[in-house]
Chains A and B, each alone.
Chain A
Amino acid sequence: MTPQTATSTRVTDVVIRLVGESGEGTVTLGDIAVQMLTMMGLDIYVFQTFPAEIKGGTVMYQIRTRSGTILSHGDACDILVALNDEGFDLFGGGMREDGILLYNSDVFTPTPQPGRTEYALPITTLARAEKDAVRHDVEPEILKRLPAPVNTVGLGALLRLVNAPLEPAEQYLRDTFGRKGEAVVRMNISALHSGAKHVAEQIGNKRTPQVFPREREEKVLIVNGNQMLCMGAIAAGMRFYAGYPITPASEIMEFLAKELPAFGGDVVQAEDEISALGMCLGAGFAGKKALTASSGPGISLMVEQINLAGQAEIPVVIADIQRGGASTGMPTKTSQGDLNLAVYGVHNESPRVVLAASSVEDCFWTTIEAFNLAEAYQCPVILLSDQALATRKSTIPPPDLSKVEVVNRLLPTEEELGDSYMRYRDTETGVSPMSLPGMRGGRYVSTGIEHDETGDPGYTPELAMQMKRKRFRKMETLLRERGDAMVRVWGDPGEVEVGIIAFGSTEGVIREATERARAEGYKVGHLHLRMLSPLPVDPINAFAARCKRILVPELNFTGQLAGWLRVHTDIRFTPFHKDEGIPFIPNEIYQQITHLAGK
């Protein structure tokens, strides 16, 4: 049953922001709320931003929910759940003026503001009362470790606030706490109702939004970018992972350590990132599809061997989950600041592919693409993601596995093996059949030293040019064979007032801003780059030709995509870049569009 009040307004799109002390359950509350909303048939999109500390500091967990595709975490929040005053001070500014504030009145009382609707919730007091009520019914061993049900009180309050039914939550609590005995279940269900009742008593004539449950026909997954990256890797046939812990990439190693053995694969926690990539290159040389993942500082340590992979032509995938700031910077914040590192991070020159995943679902498909390109062109592939995308939890349809295409490297035929076999044969495409240890007649030395077609060292000027041409020809082949598929085009066809060129995790927010502007009559186009290197220049130029003005938004300080476009194209554009550690919101892109269109 959905409770109704005279003042509830039906809403189709709600942004709920939870803020609180890190390590105190804010994320848990968010995760449960996400489950409940998903069970109601709604879609969700979560943006999380953390302090770097394990305990302490303020965490922000923003849920946007609606029925249907969600492209970004939204602009201002409709509902702010402030579990402490520090969170309120830090993130309260991102609230709508007519928003709803649910605050922990045990901890602080905010100054009232005209237009804002406020609900006080003495969350700790209510939770303690619930625990006290069952104190004598719980086994002493369990009681010792039983926290007061603070999150459950918060959940009840939040669900009531959006006029959501409590039954699914009751079922969830039964399932979650059943093992701890009937009294603990009773405590939690009572806490749920206590939170709900406390809000209900204050509603009176206050405005509340009402989210509507719906029957969902299709299955959905609740997943984040890191998880989909891992699943994409497994689907692509990756069976060897080596890595070194680093925020925000560690989750990848943790996921794979748990899941990969069941697929017959291995995970090694290496002593450093240099060793991690070294092992992956060894595995890649020996015939396995290998993955390592890190963030900027770790990728920096890998640079020397990325070049070895290019020079020795070893397939490998390196995921860079970008994080904020240089050096230690802001490890728990987001950025697109490693584009230069990905495309330029090399001594001398060697071919490499750089891809960027753009959404949680796309993490799956782009990771598969990364392995396919590494295998097809026998080169390192750097796959860019970032903290916001890695921890972005979304509801997505389960990927259609019948659409998964897996490419494996070109092996020599029986006839090609033997005395005349040449590992680095200079071919029309640049791709040479790659023998694997164990193949008779396929012997060669995989090497970073300049070499002839057999792999033997050689330094003559002619050879140096021939082999460099051969290796870089693979990138020309890639562009010829797949270049057009390496961009996605959104928005108006034909001539547009404003065209946007961007890459990576900003795709959704740009699409949303574009749609908003188009709904108001602006003609707007959007080209999103899936591949940054080699840069698909032809589709970029074709797109640019139909744009009156071009905007290049990105999340870094100096405008790295802007610089990369200037190197490879003659197009003129307006750069828009910032590196605050948080993603764009739709409104700031929208403002840029209307501003440029008005020029």
Chain B
Amino acid sequence: MTATSTQYSPRDYKSDLKPIWCAGCGDFGVLNALYKAMSMCGLKPEDTVVVSGIGCSSRLPGFVETYGYHGVHGRTLPAATGIKAARPELNVIAVGGDGDGYSIGAGHLPHCARRNPDITYLIMNNNTYGLTKGQISPTSMVPLASISPKVDPKRWKTTPYGMTEEAINPIAQAIAWDVSFVARGFSYKPNQLADILAAAISHRGFALVDAFSPCPTFNQDQNDDYYKDHTYDVPEDHDPTDRVKAFELALRTDGYPIGIIYRRDNKPSMLEEQAFLRRRFENNPGTMEKLFAKYQG
């Protein structure tokens, strides 16, 4: 993280582009929390890149007055890793939805955890596909077909008779992969979310923040009221550095804990290892002549 003494207000991160989101979209709250977190961390806008894939939430880079990278569906983490590897001094924040991160892009998550680059990944989780208008996502909670014949066929387009697979638990998954900072937020608690995001940005390593961000257009089931009823703050005595305890918290079925659930501060990072390798050759830098000499006949 590159912080400066210059103060930036949340407003300084706001671009001229108006968000395309529906009225009441949870992403507005997330965006405001992000502005605030960036301000809290004093991120220099020109030294910051917000990276995204495809989806409603992936339009976010356009609304932030920093550099942006709006790539293809699901490839947010590879792009963010490449940016950070190329320019370690930049602040890199990856953003996207649950479909982008947990479905099409899910294959990149464990590997980003292994590499542990110093980037923040903010997932706006609305339990549905919004941009394609209401199909299920890996976190959808539509009842299973066998136990509930009462699913509204008009609402769930690809699962009119109920779902045929269970939702994933992204927090438990992330802890299993040893993502070095795992937290959960809620867009209707923007101040708390801003604190969580600021901690994630300040964390040295790969930080995943899953923020519930309800979709009022395509998912009225998991709306703001649902989450208000089903979330609670991470208990004050929770030790996020205890991985087993973190797992227990992530696996609880009485609701969703909001806050920092797991963190590991000393996890090695690919970028630091690479820097170490480069330093090894500092006193004997490569030249083309030396390369040619290795292959001389």
Contact = CB atoms under 8 A, between A and B. Distances in A.
Interface of A: 35, 38-39, 219-223, 227, 231, 234-235, 240, 242, 259-266, 268, 270-272, 274-288, 290, 304-305, 308, 312, 395, 398-399, 401, 437-449, 455-457
Interface in B52-74: 59, 61-62, 65-72
Contact of B68 (A221, A266, A438, A447): A447
A446 B70 contact: yes
Contacts of A290: 82, 86
A276 B297 CA distance: 34
Given A278-B77, A278-B81, A305-B72, 14 more contacts: A221-B292, A235-B288, A261-B278, A270-B78, A275-B111, A282-B79, A285-B83, A286-B82, A288-B87, A395-B297, A437-B87, A443-B68, A446-B67, A457-B62
Contact of B297 (A38, A263, A283, A285): A38
A260 B286 CA distance: 8
Interface string B265-297: 000001000100110110011101101100111
B79 A39 contact: no
Contacts of A444: 67-68
B289 to A, nearest CB: 8
Given A234-B291, A275-B108, A443-B45, A219 B82 contact: no
Interface in B76-123: 77-87, 89-90, 107-108, 110-111, 115
Contact of A440 (B46, B49, B61): B46
B38 interface: no
Given A286-B82, A445-B61, A456 B45 contact: no
B72 A448 contact: yes
A268 B47 CA distance: 24
Interface of B: 17, 45-49, 51, 59, 61-62, 65-72, 75, 77-87, 89-90, 107-108, 110-111, 115, 270, 274, 277-278, 280-281, 284-286, 288-289, 291-292, 295-297
B277 to A, nearest CB: 4
24 contacts: A35-B297, A39-B297, A220-B297, A221-B292, A222-B296, A222-B297, A231-B291, A242-B82, A261-B278, A261-B281, A264-B285, A274-B75, A277-B78, A279-B78, A279-B79, A282-B85, A283-B85, A286-B83, A290-B86, A395-B297, A439-B46, A445-B68, A446-B68, A457-B59
B82 A280 contact: yes
Nearest to A38: B297
A281 B77 CA distance: 12
Contacts of A260: 286
A445 B70 contact: yes
Contacts of A455: 68
B267 to A, nearest CB: 17
Given A281-B79, A395-B297, A446 B90 contact: no
B71 A286 contact: no
Q: Is the interface of A mostly helix, strand, loop or mixed?
A: mixed
Give the most central of B65, B80, B296: most A CB within 10 Å: B296
Contacts of B288: 231, 234-235, 401
A237 to B, nearest CB: 11
A438 B297 contact: no
B291 A261 contact: no
Nearest to A447: B70
A270 B110 CA distance: 12
A278 B75 contact: yes
A39 B297 CA distance: 7
A277 B80 CA distance: 12
Given A279-B78, A437-B87, A223 B295 contact: yes
Contacts of B107: 271-272, 275
B80 to A, nearest CB: 6
Given A221-B292, A437-B67, A456-B17, A261 B277 contact: yes
Give the most central of B69, B77, B90, B111: most A CB within 10 Å: B69
B286 A262 contact: yes
A448 B77 CA distance: 16
Contacts of B77: 275, 278
A287 B85 contact: no
B78 A264 contact: no
Contacts of A395: 297
Nearest to B75: A278
B46 A279 contact: no
Nearest to B273: A266
Contacts of A278: 71, 75, 77-79, 81-82, 108
B85 A240 contact: yes
B79 to A, nearest CB: 4
A344 to B, nearest CB: 19
Contacts of A284: 82
Given A223-B295, A286-B87, A240 B82 contact: yes
